[in-house]
Chain A
């Protein structure tokens, strides 16, 4: 049985995610490595960085990290309805450390059923990718 989700994740807690070499270059992570409106991570409080590596995805052998305090500011910033990033604890039976970085319309609770526009999703992917740090480079 999964543990009860925490209402918040500390701003300085590293969150880890696996990444493939094809989804990076010498300047960082590409938007192709990111899913939105919800992107899975592992919380460092409940796991080790290496736990994100699984045999089912052998090419995804790198590890990237971010903390809730490093999440991008809302997008879009110039025009249109802004979406804010937030980290949500989301443990399940298979992965006690699972959490997600999600986007929601600023001031409106997150809803899985809400589908942001495709260009907004891509913008959010690019902005999150831009802020990820490499913990261990993929090979």
Chain B
């Protein structure tokens, strides 16, 4: 079953099913990634008054799935496009999952050490866990888990 199935209802994104998300993925990451900067930094709720309700709901869904996965971004920031961006950093590489004003989620994988074009995609309602898995595959496990 796809993990983290989501469904748009009105202005808000709600979980369709409760799930023990992505078993194989969970096996590869620790329960408590050492990304203290994100844990201590802004949370999605801090931006509630500064973004659209659709943006907030979609970002909240991302935050929930990250919690379920035991994962965390390096930063959660308000982007210049009035969206909420989850930023994952790994030296010259970074990834971003941004909730825009309309509540759409857009993924980004970027390697600044090469001329290769950034990969971007619109995350479908059932594709959130897959998107996070793709980001982790691109960047590697959260900091502190490398051998």
Contacts and interface: CB of A to CB of B under 8 A. Distances in A.
Contact of B85 (A25, A32, A78, A130): A32
Contacts of A123: 108, 117-118, 120
Interface in A80-111: none
10 contacts: A22-B75, A25-B89, A27-B91, A27-B94, A30-B85, A35-B80, A78-B117, A119-B121, A122-B106, A130-B110
Contacts of A75: 117
A28 B89 CA distance: 11
Given A22-B75, A25-B94, A118-B100, A32 B118 contact: no
**Chain B interface size, under 10 / 10 to 19 / 20 to 34 / 35 or more:** 20 to 34
Contacts of A28: 112
The DSSP consensus for interface residues of chain B is strand
Interface residues of A, number: 27
Interface of B: 75, 77, 79-81, 85, 87, 89, 91-92, 94, 96, 98, 100, 104, 106-108, 110, 112, 117-118, 120-122
B79 A32 contact: yes
Contacts of B107: 122
A23 B80 contact: yes
A31 B112 contact: no
A53 B98 CA distance: 26
A126 interface: yes
B91 to A, nearest CB: 7
A51 interface: no
A120 B118 CA distance: 10
Nearest to B91: A27
A84 to B, nearest CB: 14
A77 B119 CA distance: 11
B144 to A, nearest CB: 18
Contacts of A77: 117
A33 B91 CA distance: 18
Which are the 3 A-B pairs with shortest beta-carbon distances? Answer: A126-B118, A32-B79, A122-B120
A73 to B, nearest CB: 9
Contact of B96 (A27, A32, A117, A121): A32
A126 B80 contact: no
B96 A30 contact: yes
A68 interface: no
B120 A126 contact: yes
Contact of B108 (A31, A33, A36, A117): A31
